Amino acid sequence: MKSLLNHTFTGTIQVPGDKSITHRALMMASLAEGTSVIHSPLESEDTFRTAEIMGQLGVEIKREDDRMTVVSPGSSNFTTPEGVLYTGNSGTTTRLLMGLIAGLGIEATIEGDSSIAGRPMDRVATPLGEMGADISLVDGKYPPIVMKRSSLSAIEYEMPVASAQVKSAILFAALYADGGTTVHEKVRSRNHTEIMLEQFGVDIEVDGLSISMKGGQSLSANDVQVPGDISSAAFLMVLAAITEGSDIMIENVSMNETRAGIIDVFKQMNADIEIEEVSNEGEAIGNIHVRHSKDLTSFDLSGEIIPRLIDEIPVLAVLGAFGRSPSFIKGAEELRYKETDRLRAVIDELVKFGVEFEEYEDGFMVYPLKELKVSGREFKGYHDHRIIMMLLVMAISTGTEINIDDTSAINISYPEFLKDLQKLKKAR
């Protein structure tokens, strides 16, 4: 990390494949009988957990070059898995898998690491239970998740929280339920599942905030091209926007409007950003050009934009600290239920650089950093990839040498992060 300090960042780069899309591609390709190829998938701890579990169900997954080839016997030929289905640190794997296992009517126990053990799963178990799934949770809320064989009937479900993981779990279960299921969202969450189900040949109807699908449909094998992950690009975008002399182009990034809230924030902040459209079919793709900006203003975020940038909020706190006036985030209480309580972690760690915050139950106000005041060198990463990369962006842009207790969690979503920064760094 030390070698990255006091540099500027310029050049063209591609970030790794989108994590949400890769999980879904692995699951849908597994459900479809035959061979599907996933091009440019994310190869990281979280997506490997999904791939391994699909293997335990009887699917063959080969990794070669920049693709994964999935050969499936079809979901009706899946085997009851031996042993626990271990989801590691991945909330997406855990929650989507609950829907899939419920739909398949297989018996299984799902368990993850200590972070997953503290994340609420009742938000998925409740709608699946209404469909007829037999799921037991610790204290009615937490993993290990014990699922017994059951058959499902369709439901009409009003989503109490904006969560693509809950929505997707219901849609996976709905594929195998008797009758037509409808999910109503209050606020739109990422829609990769809806887009990809259609690509795999499922008849799914989206009408405003309501999604409907008939049960008893099967998926047809299909190839998937995974775009770059905007949540990973976010770290490079913020670093470039706040580091003197920087000028970077990030190619082929997902521009799905349900994910691209950060672009709106950069515009609100008066950052120097341009988007070049690459494709607008299915999952939209674009190139992102960001230059250092001397005159960042502030942002004020709440309501429907929050799910469109939920995972970028830690690094947006850094951007906010470089603005001219205070920035606000409200309506983001979901951050308290991620890999760690991200609102607490962001504030507890960034105050060590002298950043001032006002904390709310559902967000924060971040003040412009007047003076860098580093109190100690010891920082905590909470084994949370987004917190660790946020800290690295802050440290690198301010030229501060810090020690983070454990940085291995970077491998969860962006294993090449430090290597990519090395590629972009130039002497000042």
Ligand X SMILES: C=C(OP(=O)(O)O)C(=O)O
Ligand Y SMILES: O=C(O)C1=C[C@@H](OP(=O)(O)O)[C@@H](O)[C@H](O)C1
Give backbone dihedrals phi and psi of 419, rounded to 5 degrees, phi first.
-65, -40
Distance of alpha carbon 330 from alpha carbon 231, whole angstroms: 19
Distance of alpha carbon 129 from alpha carbon 323, whole angstroms: 47
Among 92, 222, 287, 340, binds ligand Y (CB under 6 A): 92
Question: Residue type for 264, please?
Answer: D
Pick the closer one to ligand Y by CB: 226 or 355.
226
Q: Which stretch binds ligand X (CB under 6 A): 36-44, 89-97, 193-201, 213-221?
A: 89-97
302 labelled binding-site residue: no
Among 311, 312, 349, 420, binds ligand X (CB under 6 A): 311
Contact 135, 98 (CB under 8 A): yes
Distance of closest approach, residue 118 Cβ to ligand Y, in angstroms? 14
Residues in region 399-428 near ligand X by CB under 6 A:
413
Burial of 217 (0-12, 13-18, 19+ CB in 10 A): middle
Contact 63, 22 (CB under 8 A): no
Pick the closer one to ligand X by CB: 183 or 389.
389
Distance of alpha carbon 152 from alpha carbon 134, whole angstroms: 10
Q: Which listed option, ligand Y, ligand X, none, makes contact with residue 298 (CB within 5 to 8 Å by class)?
A: none
Q: Which listed option, ligand Y, ligand X, none, makes contact with residue 72 (CB within 5 to 8 Å by class)?
A: none
Contact 352, 346 (CB under 8 A): no
- Residue whose entry in the numeric block shows the structure tokens 């990463």: 381
| 26 three-class SS | helix
Q: Which listed option, ligand X, ligand Y, none, makes contact with residue 413 (CB within 5 to 8 Å by class)?
A: ligand X
Among 18, 229, 251, 339, binds ligand X (CB under 6 A): 339
Question: Residue type for 335, please?
Answer: L
Distance of closest approach, residue 92 Cβ to ligand X, in angstroms? 3
Q: Does residue 311 carry a catalytic annotation? A: yes
Among 49, 190, 259, 385, binds ligand Y (CB under 6 A): 190
Residue 164 lies near ligand Y (rule: CB under 6 A):
yes
342 labelled binding-site residue: yes
Distance of closest approach, residue 338 Cβ to ligand Y, in angstroms? 6
Residue 229 lies near ligand X (rule: CB under 6 A):
no
Q: Which listed option, ligand X, ligand Y, none, makes contact with residue 22 (CB within 5 to 8 Å by class)?
A: none
Q: Which listed option, ligand Y, ligand X, none, makes contact with residue 339 (CB within 5 to 8 Å by class)?
A: ligand X
Residue 181 lies near ligand X (rule: CB under 6 A):
no
In terms of DSSP H, where are the helices of 34-90?
45-56
Run of H or E including 157: strand 156-158
Residue 165 lies near ligand Y (rule: CB under 6 A):
yes
Residue 38 lies near ligand Y (rule: CB under 6 A):
no
Residue 247, number of CB atoms within 10 A of its CB: 16
Residue 109 bridge partners (DSSP): 146
Which x/- pattern over 233-272 shows residues binding ligand Y (rule: CB under 6 A)?
----------------------------------------
In terms of DSSP H, where are the helices of 153-283?
164-174, 192-199, 230-242, 261-268
Alpha-carbon Rg for the chain, nearest whole angstrom, is 21
217 labelled binding-site residue: no
Residue 279, number of CB atoms within 10 A of its CB: 13
Burial of 181 (0-12, 13-18, 19+ CB in 10 A): buried
149 labelled binding-site residue: no
Residue 90 lies near ligand X (rule: CB under 6 A):
yes
Query: DSSP letter string over 380-400?
Result: --TT-HHHHHHHHHHHHHHT-
The catalytic residue among 311, 341, 348, 420 is 311
- List the binding residues for phosphoenolpyruvate: 19, 91, 119, 165, 342, 386
- List the binding residues: 19-20, 24, 91, 119, 163, 165, 311, 338, 342, 386
Question: Where do contacts with ligand X occur on this chain (CB under 6 A)?
Answer: 19, 90-92, 311, 338-339, 386, 413
- List the binding residues for 3-phosphoshikimate: 19-20, 24, 163, 165, 311, 338
Annotated catalytic residues are 311
